[in-house]
Amino acid sequence: MIHDPRIQVIEVLRILRKVFKYKELEDLTGLTTPTLWRYINMKVLPTRERARELLDKLVSGEVIKELISRNILIVDNSMVNIASLIYDVNLLKIFSLEIYREFSKLDPTAVMTVEVDGIPLAVVASDVLGAKLVVAKRRLDVGVFKYYEVSYVSMDPPSITNLYIPSQALEPDDRVLIVDDLLRSGRTSQALIKLVRKAGASIVGLYALVAIGSKWRDALRGEVGKIYVSYVLNEVNA
């Protein structure tokens, strides 16, 4: 992970330039197009102070919402496709900076998710936070004899789902951030919370890139101290 804010902001500008026009970047940053062009092409570097100010503007909640809005796909008001978000390496870098802003002060030591679609987001989150990665799986890996297991009812389609993590994946002193790509009912996150508690670790927060409706709020109320969602959609038909 790049820690020099000057290089970091240039990388962010280059990514955003693929989505936003220069005029939009001018409005976001307060800088002129020639200045932005020089930064993007590394003709000149901003000062560290200016770089930090620009990062605050470019990775703001409103900018993230606009990025997601332009890339999310809703089909017939019934299906939500976020593949273009969670499998775009550049966008993942932007989302990781938002995760860092919201959760770094909580000092997580582990980032936890469920296979498969949550993995890319969890990987960048663990990298930016300097935390280990824990992936709950629906089947036990070969050779794993000690493990924690939870079961829950998933609704799409209705079925009993089992999740497993190796017993050594979490330590009692671990501080866990749960990461989810798409939050709807909250059932999967509830199952992850149970796994964390079975391991004796603590939960510091939950991050979701996209959430649909409000059922998840009721399901997770009182379970997690801090929940941050980048983009909330109104309920779509199941």
Please list the residue range(s) of the chain that carry CATH number 3.40.50.2020.
70-233
Report the alpha-carbon distance of residue 141 to residue 41 in Å, rounded.
Answer: 46
Residue 238 predicted with pLDDT over 60: no
Residue 234 predicted with pLDDT over 90: no
Q: Which residues contact 4 (CB under 8 A, 6 or more apart)?
A: 48
Give pTM, 2 decimals: 0.93
Q: Which of 76-80, 199-203, 231-235 has the highest mean pLDDT?
A: 199-203
Fold designation for 70-233 = Rossmann fold (3.40.50)
Residue 29 CA neighbour count, 13 Å, CB half = 30
pLDDT band at 237 (very low <50, low <70, confident <90, very high): low
pLDDT band at 1 (very low <50, low <70, confident <90, very high): low
Residue 18 predicted with pLDDT over 90: yes
What does the chain come to in residues? 238
82-88: average pLDDT: 97
Residue 197 predicted with pLDDT over 70: yes
CA 72 to chain centroid = 15
- The first and second tokens of residue 167, run together, are 């017993």
- The first and second tokens of residue 151, run together, are 């079961």
Instruction: Please give the C-alpha separations between residue 160 and each of 133, 153, 211, 223, in angstroms, as whole numbers.
Output: 25, 5, 22, 22
Amino acid 144: pLDDT = 87
* pLDDT tens-digit series, residues 126-164: 999 999 999 999 998 888 899 999 999 987 778 899 999
- Which of 80-89, 106-115, 148-157 is least confident? 148-157
Amino acid 100: pLDDT = 96
